[in-house]
Amino acid sequence: MSALDLTLQQSLLDLVRRWALLASALSLPEPRRRAADTGGLDDAELVTRARGGDRDAFDQLFRRHIDEVYRRMARLVGGDPEREDLVQEVFVHAYRGLARFRGDAAFSTWLYTIVVRVAYGHLRRRRRRPLLEGQLLEQLEPVSNAASPEQRALEREQLLRLHQMLARIKPKKRIAFVMRVVEGLSLGEIADIVGATPAAVGQRIKHAQRELEAMLLRDVRRAPLSLSAARSTR
């Protein structure tokens, strides 16, 4: 058997494994109390049903919010191999805490507070055992598909540097800064989510910005030529 046959065989096996996983996900066991139809219900109704033990309703909530939760988690913790585990953790926390959800805010907002709490705990743990550069590089998202390979490599390097710099500032500052700059939330909204005063959140953002700017400056002084510049001069 040639090497090409082996590679092809492995690819096929991998494809089969993926399809099996997808099929098992689509054929989940019957929930204990199955609702007639949960597709057209809003979040509040689904929460009420899920609170009463309707696992279909919670599954519907999961389907609705998984993308947003994943995106927010990715922004807060960066390219971390435990990102998916953290997302699962968010939904498990939400399932356990459904009884405490009063419905004062939207379910997505409440879910976001759980995302922030889970991310904060993870970032604190991560500061004690930071990721290696290789691990981080493996987990980086593809930035754009249409760009040239050099452009993609440059963006990946820039993203890697940013994640490394974000990993060096304190989790509270990092979360507040990302929520403000990337999510575009106001100080009041951030304060509500993280459970702090707007002034404290403003200070965190200010300090985070100052530290990131200083790190960027040091980075530029240390390596004035970027990867693309180096390649172009080669």
Partner 1 sequence: MTRPLDLSPQLAQSMALLARATAQGPDDIARARMRVQVQARLDAIDAEAPARRRSRVRVVALVAAAAALLLLATLVAKRPQPSLRAIALDASGATPALLPYLSAGPGGLSPGRLGKRQRRIVVSGTAVARAQIPGVGSVALVGPGELAIRRGAGAAIELSLSRGLLLAQVDPLAGERVRVIASRTRVEVIGTVFAVDARDGDRVHVAVTRGRVAVSRARVRVSLAAGHVLHGDESTPRSNGSSAVGRALAARLIRHVRSAPAIAPDSADAVTLVVRGQPSAALVSLADGGAALGSTPLAVRLARGRARLRVDAPGHSSVTLDVTLRRGQAAEIGFALERHPVVVDPPRATPRARPLRREHRSRRSPVRPPVPSMAPAPAPVKHSARPARPAAASPSRPATASLSRPATARELYRAAEAAMRRGQRATARSKLTELVQRFPHDQRATSARFEIARLSLAAGAPDRALGELRRMLRDASPTHVLLAPARLLVCRVHLERKRLTRAERCLTALLARHPRSLQADDALFVMLRLALRRRDCARAHTLAARYRQSFPRGRHIAALAAQLRRCAR
Instruction: Considering only residues 91 through 110, tell me which ones interact with partner 1, judged by CB under 8 A.
Output: 91-92, 95-96
Is residue 28 a contact point for partner 1 (CB under 8 A)? yes
> Sign of the CA dihedral 167, 168, 172, 173?
negative
Task: Pick one of 26, 36, 99, 146: the residue that binds partner 1 (CB under 8 A).
Answer: 26
Rounded Cα distance, 145 and 131, in Å? 26
Task: Pick one of 38, 49, 55, 119: the residue that binds partner 1 (CB under 8 A).
Answer: 55
Is residue 209 a contact point for partner 1 (CB under 8 A)? yes
Is residue 181 a contact point for partner 1 (CB under 8 A)? yes
Task: Pick one of 9, 186, 197, 228: the residue that binds partner 1 (CB under 8 A).
Answer: 186
Is residue 141 a contact point for partner 1 (CB under 8 A)? yes
Closest CA to 45 of 64, 32, 27: 64
Is residue 153 a contact point for partner 1 (CB under 8 A)? no
Task: Pick one of 21, 106, 223, 229: the residue that binds partner 1 (CB under 8 A).
Answer: 21
Is residue 187 a contact point for partner 1 (CB under 8 A)? yes
Residues ≥6 apart with Cβ < 8 Å to 87: 66, 69, 70, 73
Stretch that binds partner 1, among 3-11, 109-117, 131-139, 173-181 (CB under 8 A): 173-181
DSSP alpha helix (H) spans, the chain? 3-26, 43-51, 55-77, 83-96, 107-128, 133-139, 149-168, 171-181, 187-194, 198-222, 227-233
Report, in Å, the least distance between residue 234 CB and partner 1: 23
CB burial of 53-75 (b: ≥16 within 10 Å; e: otherwise) equals ebbbbbbbbbebbeeebbebbbb
Is residue 30 a contact point for partner 1 (CB under 8 A)? no
206, 164 contact by CB (below 8 A)? no
Residues ≥6 apart with Cβ < 8 Å to 99: 51
The tokens of 90 are what?
């968010």
Please report, as ranges, the residues that interact with partner 1 according to CB under 8 A: 18, 21-22, 24-26, 28-29, 32, 55, 58-59, 62-63, 66-68, 70-71, 74-75, 78, 84, 87-88, 91-92, 95-96, 140-144, 155, 158-159, 161-162, 178, 180-182, 186-188, 205, 209, 212-213, 216, 220
